[in-house]
Amino acid sequence: MNVISLLRKGLVALLCLLYGVAACAQGWTDDELRRANTAAGVKSMTVEEREVVKYINLARLYPQKFAEVEVADYYGEEKTGYRVRLCNDRLTLIAELMTMTPREPLTYSKAMQDEARCLVAEQRDNGEVGHERHKCKGTHGGECCGYGHVAGRAIALQLLIDDGVEGVGHRANLLNAGFGTIGVATDNHPTYDFGTVVDLQWGDGRASTELRYTKVEQLTQDERARYLAMMTRGVERDLVEPFPSGTPVVDVQFERERSSRSDGSFVQVKRETRLHADGRKQIIETTTTMGIDGSGDTKRRVWVE
């Protein structure tokens, strides 16, 4: 490990010691990402599929930090109108993670990968959704199906939040300590553009665990207030606060560009243009670089024209 890495780790540890978990919300350490990225060397998986595994494992390994780093400021994607920013299921996910004991990471299973790949290909061809299999075998212990998202982080968060899913069954599967192996497959879908299937198999001990929070009514008044404050801390700043000039937003436009490299990595640029009543534009540009090994970096710029 080089000197720069040691200094960086020392600084993160000092900030966490002085200021608590919130100070760690700047990102993940190299060691944490390495431990979570159990599918890093699986060449049969795409970058996005490996990312799904990595983010699910981050939630299992470091639940409190995952709530701070990934969930507290996540509102969903622009194409869905940031619909999860104030939903009850994101609130109960934060509550679950903040009170959860760590689980072991899930490891790659070729058998589960083959089952997931078969179903997602069937649904690519027949346009169906859900868990019904026609020609595909199903020996898995648990399964999650998601639609509409292509990036691994967004897929994992969609399944963990489980907005509108009765009993948040996908979340229950992904956080269940009893599962030990995982396979993830993504493909095109005729209705929702993209589809994802995650198949899970039990570990040796089958130490199944139940969720504490599946609906908001299970939270006490104090818990609800505490986690709601955590969940909404960025909404005012990022989505509601008016333009610095004080004029309202009259139109919003979105663009996305994605370029792939020969080694399988890619760069994706999302640009949100907010047109204000005084004629000026506020540009919010997010650039994500994703390596073939599952490592990535995201940078955000905001400027006015």
In this structure, are 99 and 71 located in the same domain? yes
Residues with Cβ within 8 Å of residue 266, at least 6 apart in sequence? 47, 258, 259, 260, 289, 290
Distance CA(38)–CA(36), nearest Å, equals 6
Cα distance from N-terminal residue to C-terminal residue, the chain: 43
- Name the token pair of 191: 């209705």
In this structure, are 116 and 102 located in the same domain? yes
In this structure, are 23 and 44 located in the same domain? no
In this structure, are 53 and 167 located in the same domain? yes
Decide if pLDDT at 5 tops 60.
no
pLDDT per residue as tens digits for the range 30-62:
999 999 999 999 999 999 999 999 999 999 999
In this structure, are 123 and 265 located in the same domain? no
HSE-CB at 285 with a 13 A cutoff on CA atoms is: 11
In this structure, are 96 and 212 located in the same domain? yes
Q: Kindly report the CATH number assigned to the domain that includes residue 127.
A: 3.40.33.10
pTM higher than the cut 0.85: no
In this structure, are 133 and 23 located in the same domain? no
Query: Is 97 among the domain residues?
Result: yes
The string of DSSP codes covering 28-51 is --HHHHHHH-TTTT-TTS-HHHHH
Look at the chain and report how many structural domains it folds into: 3
Query: Is 82 among the domain residues?
Result: yes
Query: Is 140 among the domain residues?
Result: yes
In this structure, are 69 and 150 located in the same domain? yes
- Name the token pair of 182: 């995982």
Residue 108 belongs to domain spanning: 37-236
Burial (Cβ within 10 Å: 0-12, 13-18, ≥19) of residue 59? buried
| Domain closes at, from 236, 265, 293 | 236
- What is the SS3 assignment for 97? helix
Query: Is 241 among the domain residues?
Result: no
pLDDT per residue as tens digits for the range 228-274:
889 887 765 665 554 555 667 777 787 888 888 887 788 888 888 88
Fill in the DSSP letter of residue 247.
Answer: P
Query: CB neighbours (10 Å) of residue 75?
Result: 19
